[in-house]
Amino acid sequence: MREFNLAISTCPNDTFIFYALVNNKFENYKFNVSFADIDELNNLAFQKEFDIIKVSFNAFGFLMNDYDLLDSGSALGQGCGPIIISKNFVKIEELSGRKVGVPGKYTTANYLFNLAKNVETEDVFMRFDRIIPAILKNEIDAGVIIHESRFTYESYGLKKILDLGEYWEKHFNTLIPLGGIIVKKSIEPNVKMEIDKLIKLSINFSKNNFQRVLPFIKNYAKELDEATIKSHIDLYVNQYTYSLGKEGSLAIEKFYKSGYEKGIFENFKFCIVGQNGIG
């Protein structure tokens, strides 16, 4: 039996996608899984210890020499981007010189925040689930939220300053790429293809056995309300999660090309395993 080290987030979309792999429902392969916050995953990826790992697309821009992107497992779409929120401010210009909580240096949220903001801010990197509590305690003036937080922030009396997904869609006229599953280039091409197929099968398993999978998802979720969990999965697990397709691939290319033109990424050439061959 072939074994791989796999690292994913605790977010409902990842635990939904990978339930069958994590619980070893498939023959011939065993996946030893580690769970971490997306910022931790990004940092772990740079250590190159995991064979398969979930990362922000921002982070993957610096890892293309060692990893390929899988066709399956990604989070991208429309109306699903990070949101800038605050208790006291409603315009991005008001954040000049203010402390803003950001969920990690290499997150796509940070990339988009720097792309959209037209003022200098004092950015404070912290776990995504600490951002709302920090705003409520006045430890920071605003925050860039991701994951379940986008469904709950209004219940805390917080206000939206800017939807960064909408900003991206308006300026680049394409889907917003958030995070993807990457696999080491050193793994044999046919095995990488097989891993991509297994993720697709795992997605199908969860779709067909949601109530069976739900307790597993709740065990790792930050928000336990079933409606919130389902909204999260419905938003982040979509047709592009199953396969990026032409539209998803073009969106990712635009993402890296925009960063390349700004001198952030060294190149914007990447390989998608399971779609356009093996690099």
CA-based max dimension of the chain: 57
| Sequence-ordered alpha helix ranges (H) in the chain | 12-22, 38-47, 57-60, 108-116, 131-136, 149-152, 164-172, 189-208, 210-220, 226-236, 239-242, 245-261
Q: What is the mean pLDDT of residues 49-75?
A: 96
Percent with pLDDT over 90 in the chain: 77
State residue 278's pLDDT score: 40
> Apex CA 250: angle with CA 248 and CA 256, to 5°?
105
Hey, which CATH number is domain 83-172, 3.30.70.260, 3.40.190.10, 3.40.309.10, 3.40.50.300? 3.40.190.10
CA distance 208 to 19: 12
Q: Is 128 helix (H, G, I), strand (E, B) or coil?
A: helix
Same fold: 2-77+176-273 with 83-172: yes
State residue 225's pLDDT score: 79
Q: What is the mean pLDDT of residues 232-251?
A: 93
State residue 197's pLDDT score: 95
State residue 47's pLDDT score: 96
CATH code that applies to domain 2-77+176-273: 3.40.190.10
The tens digit of pLDDT for each residue in 114-133 reads: 989 989 999 999 998 899 99
**Domain ranges for the chain:** 2-77+176-273, 83-172
Q: What is the mean pLDDT of residues 77-102?
A: 93
Band of residue 267 on the pLDDT scale cut at 50, 70, 90: confident
Active site residues: 147
Average pLDDT, the chain: 92
Residue 23 has, within 13 A of its CA and on its CB side, a CA count of 14
Band of residue 262 on the pLDDT scale cut at 50, 70, 90: confident
State residue 41's pLDDT score: 96
Kindly report which listed range (34-48, 52-66, 130-144, 216-230) carries the lowest average pLDDT score. Answer: 216-230
The tens digit of pLDDT for each residue in 177-202 reads: 999 999 999 999 999 999 999 999 99
pTM above 0.85, yes or no: yes
| Structure-token pair, residue 50 | 């995991």
Whether the CB-CB separation of 123 and 102 falls below 8 Å is answered with: yes
